[in-house]
Amino acid sequence: MSNSRVIEIEKANIPETTAIKDFLSLIKIGIVNSNLITTFTGLWLALVFTNQHFLESIHIVILTLLGSALIIAGSCSINNFIDRDIDPIMSRTKSRPTVTGKMSGAKVLTIGFSFIILGTILLFMTSITAGIIGIIGIFSYVVLYSMWSKRLYVSNTIVGSISGAVPPLIGWAAVDPNLDTIAWVLFLMMFIWQPPHFYALAMKRCEEYRAANIPMLPVVKGFEVTKIHIVIWVACLLPLPFFLLPLGIAFFIIATLFNIGWLAIGLYGFKMKDDIKWARMMFVYSLNYLTILFVAMVIVTLI
């Protein structure tokens, strides 16, 4: 079946949406929210380890979170503009306003670039380092990932992981431009977390990526090779809690247990017959892993 025929079929099943839902879909609100959690954690830990008071730094907090939200939302909007030709093929993206035509390309680009410019200005108001890191994140997501590697290389997920790993660095740099070792460990945690997370998603959506000619690892190398890559990436998380011992032994234990649990489920995938069910388990675990550990980092500093 040709891609044009697939697109016709998919458009026939597009659900009705409101203007607000279209806007939230355009900026990928789920990605914005999850990245704000990691941004806040980086910011919070920088305040803690530099002995600064939260309320006395509330202006930095607001500027950082708002600036980060804007550059992420703007970058996602431009990503949607770039992917408007392949999004109709995939069920999870077929209702985006760039596909349904509810938002024109000019409007999408206006929103995207306006958000990026305003967000970048806000980040530079906190520190030059935060602003520069924000620009690196934008460039890596829009140019290196969306415009270059996504449709050409199986390593696209790894390239895209750079942008997803910078939010905690932005948060830390807004408070402490010197970037402590812990800030870089947070970056590494986010960078390493993304390949197993998105490889699991790619396994679930393998046929859709294949139809869209996106060279995701499961499409190019198959499920067995993807499983091996996932387990290797998860195993790379094991040493990181040792670098986070300043957060206390309680967090060290929690993080280590979560790492071991994720690795155990990953290894179990070689015995499971239902690859899609396993991929779903890994995907859900990865979401909980990220949220719980980054929230826990804040909680342990309050106890």
pLDDT, one tens digit per residue, over 145-199 is 999 999 999 999 999 999 999 999 999 999 999 999 999 999 999 999 999 999 9
Examine the fold and report which residue of 148, 179, 210 is the final residue of a domain before the chain moves on.
179
**Residue where the block lists tokens 């770039």:** 82
Same domain, 129 and 150: yes
Domain boundary among 179, 198, 223: 179
CA distance 33 to 265: 26
State whether 167 and 231 are in the same domain: no
208/131 Cα distance (integer angstroms): 36
Region 273-283 average pLDDT: 96
* 264 and 158 within one domain: no
CA angle 292, 293, 295 (to 5 degrees): 65
Same domain assignment for residues 41 and 151: yes
- Is residue 132 located within the same domain as residue 11? yes
Q: Are residues 186 and 132 in the same domain?
A: no
Predicted local confidence at residue 90, as pLDDT: 84
pLDDT computed for residue 89 by the predictor: 87
Q: Are residues 164 and 224 in the same domain?
A: no
249-271 tens-digit pLDDT = 999 999 999 999 999 999 999 99
What is the arithmetic mean of pLDDT over 196-208? 96
Chosen domain end from 156, 179, 202? 179
Same domain, yes or no: 300 and 207: yes
| CATH code for the domain of 72 | 1.10.357.140
Domain that holds residue 277: 180-303
Query: What's the pLDDT band for 38 if we cut at 50, 70, 90?
Result: very high
Residues 174 and 283 in one domain: no
Q: Write down the pTM of the prediction.
A: 0.92
* Residues of the chain above pLDDT 70, percent: 95
| Helix extents (H) in the chain | 3-12, 19-26, 29-49, 58-82, 97-100, 105-124, 128-139, 156-165, 167-175, 181-204, 206-211, 217-221, 223-235, 240-243, 249-268, 275-300
Residue 154 and residue 29 share a domain: yes
User: What domain count does the chain have?
Assistant: 2
Answer for the pair 189, 62: CB distance below 8 angstroms, yes or no. Answer: no
Q: Tell whether 230 and 173 lie within a shared domain.
A: no
Based on the fold, state whether residues 126 and 22 are members of the same structural domain.
yes
Percentage of the chain beyond pLDDT 90 is 89
